Structure 1
Amino acid sequence: MSNPLPPQANSLSVLDMQLLHQLGDRIKRTRKARGLGTVAVAQQAGMSRTTLYAVESGDPNASMGSYLRVMACLGLSGELAMVASDVMQAVQPGTAAGRSLRARPVVQVTVSADAGRHQVQDLQSLALHAAAVRLVKADAALRDQARQVVQKWLDADAGSRSAPLWREWQQMLQTGAFRRATGRSVHAQQLRQASPLTIVLPAEVRQSILNEVSQLKTGVTLGQPIQGAES
């Protein structure tokens, strides 16, 4: 495929989420490969271990400054320089590049999710819940519907192994603080498995996300000509 996935309105697309996850994973791998602990890196970067964990998880709520500081500590600033440079600046009229009839070279990157490590399922669950959280926060009726679903589950089986997670959902729906369910920790995954939110997610929103995830299974290729270069 050659076209990027369309972003969801007012949110990160599934592709964007996967790119952030890959960035966080690479930062974490680099830290471990250099034998650095979270305490040392957090101190050097001037942040808490919680913020460092958010960066290594590819959390979109972590600031760009936090990502930049951690990458600088790990010696990854060279890649930041590539992103920030004018290496892909526009062709100048009258130059040899501007007069060239040769096709310009293309830089392409293929982004995909690894189904073999349950990466696709985790990404899909996270994307569905991120969309559901936005809707529930904006619509009190949906929030009440989710509460009713949780209460129905508890009334039917209060002794279930999932009951503690359902009660945690009751608390989150009451306070509107859903961040613990939208991370990449084991507990966040458990919360999503016991979640009432996907039940209240509109069918068209669900299908749109499932379509994006399906594209990532085969890979999405991002590419553009290098402006001002000759082949």
Structure 2
Amino acid sequence: MTRAAAPGPEDAAEPHYTGHRERLRDRFRKAGADALADYELLELVLFRAMPRRDVKPLAKSLISRFGSFAQVVSARPERLQEIDGLGEAAVCELKIVEAAARRLARSSIENRPSLSSFSAVVDYCRTAMAFLDREEFRILFLDKKNHLIADEVQGVGTIDHAPVYPREIMRRALELSASAIILVHNHPSGDPEPSTDDIYMTHQIIAVGKPLKVEVHDHLIIGRHGHASLKGLRLI
């Protein structure tokens, strides 16, 4: 009697999630990202870091914890690492997506006059800051033709405050030979309405810059639900 050959690796049943992954990729290829829910787009990112695991429950858990795809990829690494099952490789994949989004948005304002591409400036700032869970204050330094020289974070703070030092801002502007700056900070609460402190601080920076011939073109406040321009609101 001939014995049946022992089953080889090629005969083993594929994990149940293999077909799901291919179907999800196929939907993305044919219909694009808009056809996918946030957790499904997150699954596509996690596939690379977790090739042998069903990542749907993890993706749903992340959306439940942080709120949206954008808030997940913008979350600080230490907060992401609090999630059970999310290892270093997966966190790295998420931060790569965030870095790619920022670089794409930044490319739309580089080598272009910032004031003539205001919507691109706002889009870039929203990509960089709208979903942060701590307040961040950044400066866009511009040359005489309003081209971007540098984009620098000047301070990172708490949920409702970031340190701002007007003289340090102007010192840096002079180092870069900047003729103008755009101030930008986010409100983690989501509401971009400027506070009394925001307005007062902006006028302090304007006063320090005036004798140095460094103009403050605008102060943008970025929230999850929109943005505010102090110049547009006629507050400067």
TM-score (norm 1): 0.25
Would you tell me which structure has more strand in proportion to its own residues? 2
Would you tell me which structure has more helix in proportion to its own residues? 1
TM-score (norm 2): 0.25
